[in-house]
Structure 1
Amino acid sequence: MQEVSVVVPTHNRPAFMKSAVESVLTQETDATGEVIIVFDACPIEVPELDIPAGWTVRGIANSRSRGLAGARNSGIDAATGRLVAFLDDDDEWLPGKLAAQLRRFAEVPAAMVVGTAMLVDDGSSRIERRAPAEELTHEDFLRNRIPGVHSSSLMFRREVLQGDLGLIDEELPRSYGEDYDILLRASALGVVTVVNEPLVKVLWNGQSYYFGQWASYAEALQYLLAKHPDFSRIPRAHGRIQAQVAFALAASDQGPAAREWAWRALRNAPTQVKAMLAIAISRGLVRTETVTRVVQKLGRGI
């Protein structure tokens, strides 16, 4: 059995994908592993690569539902490693990432998942995003998405993904929030721990498949609220998601619905800025593009 299987979903982005895969293959580690490139609704074209001893690279087609969730699950199904790691095709692992996570799994063998912090690259600047602590609880994730813990940083024991935790939720609209969903589920079951160093570079310059898909954001966030009723136990946490729904609805020109969700959010969390912005956008007082441009410059998302 190999030590690690790295699942890289991709769709018609060969240059990005090659860089992502190379960032895995250049990790300095004695571990053996495999990179599984999952081609989602596009031809299987594995690039020419320098593959170190003990590693393999293979391409497979997404045999499950189209989109990121199905592609990740196709990779998990094909994985042979004791550990399964995710890497989006437009991100890169930084030196030391794999070795640090393997050490953390050795130190915390009961961990459901090990993540790392990240480096946000918007093409003109780089900002480090770290987690508030190395061990994160279910309540931590309810209160905050903890964006420093990105999908491209996550590593799981394969038996957990194929057992109690389960696979990525393919019912999520457009797969949006699939990483947040699995972190909520993992933290409800056991230990989520983070190597709190920025060991993943995440590109935020408009190339994301999700960029600007506001109606899908709103639909997926409502799905997450219904799936995770624990949000309602913590008014501020509940209000945070409601405000995100409101903002997404406002950005997709659904003004009345946006304002309804915004007022719900403010009842739960009176200082929720996203709810106030949603009302302003829905009334034409500010443009969505202006808000998103500012928050992205700060290395943040809506």
Structure 2
Amino acid sequence: MTQPETTTDHRPLILATVGTDHHPFDRLVDWLDAYAADHPDVRVLVQHGATRAPARAEGIDFIDPARLGALMGEATAIVTHGGPATITGARRAGRLPIAVARDPELDEHVDDHQLRFIARLDRARLVRSCCSQQQLTATLDKALDQPADFRIDTEGTDGASSTALQAGRIIDLLTADTPEQPPIPSAEAAPADSGWPDVTVVVPTRDRPELLRRTLRSIAAQDYPGRVISVVVYDHDDPDVSLATAGGDRPVRVLTNASSPGLAGARNTGILAARTDLVAFCDDDDTWLPGKLRSQVAVLLAEPETEVVCCGIRVVYDRTEARRVLDRTAVTFADLLRSRLTELHPSTFLIRREALVGGCGPVSETIPGSYGEDYELLLRLARRAPIRNIPEEGVRVLWHRNSHFSGRWQTISTALRWLLAQYPEFRLVRRGFARVAGQIAFAEAASGRRGASLEWALTTLRAHPAEARAYLALAVIGGLPAGLVLRTLHRRGKGV
């Protein structure tokens, strides 16, 4: 990829960008080519992405963000597709975007959300919309003749503009194409033994000394060539310093939770104490299978843009075992809104530490009771980039009859309501919203709050009449023991 050079060309610049979508946008490129041919006194530069390059205008496939911002500042007029990020960038540069929406009937996009989005922005006078070559030509002529009409104050993130553009970003996240399921890089293709990076494994613990030692033995037994350091973080418990030798040749550090009490704070204490680029999580009652870490690190070595890798699990409950393996290798933000995807268990997480410390932030310590902190972290990570998943078992997950959250129904209900408030995007995904609302209905029923449970059950059914959790909540209201429901689901490796 060649970046556009700074030039002494003093012709007015029309900058056009079609984004990075894999659908071709030949129609817009053809219109700009025709304009360039008829206006040799104007410089037309087209960032064409996956679309074929222009024949008459200048063309470049991708432009790095810093250079794109500089070009927007130089341009007399900016032509964009219907992508919210590009429109926001143009407005921040003080330019009124000239927008041409991709049309799904012409195979330019997966659906019509750009058409609807641009129509909305045009009505709000946040863009100048064009839907034909003649209209685009006339608009560009006007921008060159009356450039002041296409200048705006750089308030593009205020008021109505912010609301509209944020809505567009949400729509983009929820309607983006499901990414192609890329193959998982082979661990055999990774570097020699000396080239594997160090990994810190954060193990929060409380009142499980025997299970904890078993967990540490499974980490020490990894067939991973690099250095693995276990950081055991004690929460509401006195630390056992004798664990320093529990990992054999693998170092073990013992700490006390220095953050907020609870699971989230304990995880963050370990993250902040880590001195490695890669951080993994493992609960103190789970065990890793020997090849788990090696296969995950191989993905991060092969894909510098990937920030988190998960894998499948085997759920062990009451002498029964159930295989839970997700049959995909990439998971998006929209996927996680639709479903919790419980196969992505926190004991499978391997994350670039920088993504937590300098990126989306650490584990949230504001979630009531730390319930669902792993899911909320996945949502934040997936907003940045798809999560990679190895569709193979890597962890044995032990479910207990008396887990930490057994009977803490009000904590569960409060945490789930917090989640819906933090992520209004759930309201745009009816099935996903109904799933969480149904969980709230069940928790309220299990806690004996019949009125609240009935209200949430009706809310669930209005959003998605087929959501089974609403009917389970109604059954519990009618007298079915909540514990019986959970035990039956757990034997199948499932939960509410």
Q: Does 1:18 align with 2:18?
A: no
**Preserved contact between residue 314 and residue 396 of structure 2 (Cα < 8 Å):** yes
* Counterpart residue number, 2:377: 182
Which moves more between the two structures, 39-48 or 127-136?
A: 39-48
Contact 1:118 1:198 in 2 (8 A): yes
CA distance in structure 1 between the partners assigned to 2:405 and 2:475 by the alignment: 23
Q: Are 2:480 and 1:281 equivalent residues in the alignment?
A: no
In structure 2, give the amino acid aligned to 1:292.
L
In the alignment, is residue 104 of structure 1 matched against residue 296 of structure 2?
A: no
Please give the per-residue CA displacement for 1:211-230, whole angstroms capped at 9, x wherever unaligned.
23211111110011111111
Q: Which has the larger radius of gyration?
A: 2
Corresponding residue of 1:30: 225
1:185-200 map, 5 Å: 185-200=380-395
Q: Partner of 1:271: helix, strand, or coil?
A: coil
In the alignment, the residues of structure 2 paired with residue 201 and residue 207 of structure 1 have an alpha-carbon distance, to the nearest angstrom, of: 18
Q: CA deviation at 1:50?
A: 4.6
Cα deviation per residue 1:174-230 (whole Å; 9 max; x = unaligned)? 100000000011111112001111110000132421223211111110011111111
Q: How do 1:61-210 residues align onto structure 2 when only pairs under 5 Å count?
A: 61-210=256-405
Aligned to 1:163, the other structure's residue is in SS state helix
Cα 1:152/1:59, change in 2 over 3 Å: same
What TM-score, normalized by structure 1, do the two folds share?
0.96
Structure scoring higher RCO (CA < 8 A, sep ≥ 6) equals: 1
Q: Name the SS of the counterpart of 2:200 in structure 1.
A: strand
Task: Please tell me whether the aligned partners of residues 333 and 386 of structure 2 are also in contact (alpha carbons under 8 angstroms).
Answer: no
Q: Identify the residue that residue 22 of structure 2 maps to in structure 1.
A: none
Unaligned runs of 5+ in 1: none
2:321, 2:491 within 8 Å by CA — same for their partners in 1? no
Match of 2:486 in 1: 292
Letter in 2 for 1:49: A
**Pairwise CA RMSD:** 1.3
Deviation at 1:111, TM superposition (A): 1.2
**Contact kept? 2:300, 2:307, Cα under 8 Å:** no
SS in 2 for 1:111: coil
C-alpha contact 1:122 1:297 (8 A) present in aligned 2 = yes
2:199 matched to 1:4?
A: yes
> Hey, which of these two has a bigger chunk of strand by percent?
1
**Residue deviations 1:34-76 (CA, integer Å, cap 9, x gap):** 1100011211104242522xx3111011001100000000000
Q: Which moved more, 1:211-220 or 1:176-185?
A: 211-220
- TM-score (normalizing by structure 2): 0.59
Q: Which residue of 2 aligns with 1:270?
A: 465
Match of 2:413 in 1: 218
1:97 shift after superposition: 0.5
Separation in structure 1 between the aligned mates of residue 386 and residue 331 of structure 2, nearest angstrom = 7
What are the superposed Cα offsets for residues 249-302 of structure 1, whole Å, 9 maximum, x if unpaired? 100111100000000000001011110111121132x11112111101110011
Q: Alignment identity in percent?
A: 37
Q: Which amino acid aligns with 2:487?
A: R
The alignment partner of 2:328 has SS state of coil
Q: Which moved more, 1:199-208 or 1:217-226?
A: 199-208
Which ranges in structure 2 are unaligned for 5 or more consecutive residues? 1-195
Shift of 1:88: 0.4
> Is the 1:119–1:129 contact (alpha carbons within 8 Å) kept by the matching residues of 2?
yes
Pick closer, same or farther for the CA change 1:207–1:27 going to 2, 3 Å. Answer: farther
- Which secondary structure does the structure 2 equivalent of 1:27 belong to? coil
